[in-house]
Amino acid sequence: MYSALVVVLRVWALLKKSNVLKAWKLLVFGLFFTLLASACTGERPVLTSSTIPPTTVMRAPPSLGTIDVRAQSIDETIDIATVASAKVDQVEIYEQPDFDSQQIHTMAHPIPSGGPLVFLVDQTQGEWHEVLLPVRPNGATGWVHDDQVLIGTHNYRIEVSLSDFELKIHNGGSLVFQATVAVARENAPTPGGRYFITELLQPLEPNTVYGDFAYGLSGFSETFETFAGGPGQLGIHGTNNPDAIGTQASAGCVRLANGDIAHMVTFLPLGTPVTILS
């Protein structure tokens, strides 16, 4: 989970463009990197009022495809993940696919960490898309309109089995990656459910609790409403303690060996669905 541990870093944000994603690059020096710190150790959370926003380090994910999901059958789209990427500064989220329905959220693009705002699409009705939201409660959804998002697709999905200490990545129907992971302790379990990757972070210091990279997820701890000044956001990240892999070691996050997560960032795009099996 994210906390307010601050480390000086260089920021590199890059989202590659296909026909459906806006290309842009963000390079900032001397900013601060807010990561998962004590949230993923065994320490008790320290609640603070820090207002320093996290910043994002993103490596370039693969370009997304351009198929029209509205023209596909259910069978054809079973292994397709559809991602909505913001193309306006403020994305309006509605309760129903109708401008006359209640507006339930407004979300900023870029997100507070400096990265792009993306959503995982659950379904599409005409010019409206029901998306999974990166807010509490876990699993919350809302509707966004075509005029505020760009739609892309890919075939990747992640499955994490907490009981088996195992992470699997599928590309369509094929298993393309498998790794042993560390999971949360019994007193701070990772909530099972369906989430998606919201951002990719990279600390400058190589020997942190997060290892080489950290993915932010759209889900949140159900044990901690706040954690060390952060919102209790779930994550998947590396480690500086490889001996903990295969054990219950964190307060909610999923940990991988650094070599494993370094491989993942070479091909996984933002918006990849993540299913956590508790």
**Domain final position from 139, 154, 169:** 154
- Domain assignment present for residue 140? The answer is yes
User: What is the domain extent for residue 21?
Assistant: 5-59+156-277
Name the nearest CA neighbour of 115 among 44, 40, 187, 56: 56
Higher-confidence position of 203 and 16: 203
The per-residue pLDDT for 201 is 92
Rounded to whole angstroms, how far apart are CA atoms 20 and 192? 31
**Domain final position from 134, 154, 174:** 154
Rounded to whole angstroms, how far apart are CA atoms 173 and 78? 9
The per-residue pLDDT for 225 is 63
The per-residue pLDDT for 32 is 28
- Domain assignment present for residue 64? The answer is no
Tens-place pLDDT, residues 64-92: 443 333 333 333 445 899 999 999 999 99
Does one domain contain both 14 and 96?
Answer: no
Tens-place pLDDT, residues 102-147: 999 999 999 988 899 999 999 999 999 999 999 999 999 999 999 9
DSSP 12-23: EEEE---TTS--
pTM, whole model, 2 decimals?
0.77
Strands (E), the chain: 5-15, 24-35, 81-86, 90-94, 103-108, 118-125, 128-132, 141-145, 149-154, 156-161, 166-171, 174-180, 183-184, 193-201, 214-220, 233-237, 248-250, 254-255, 273-277
- Identify the CATH number of the domain in which residue 120 sits: 2.30.30.40
Bridge-based pairing state of the strands 183-184 and 248-250: parallel
Tally the domains of the chain: 2
Share of the chain above pLDDT 70, in %: 69
Share of the chain above pLDDT 90, in %: 59
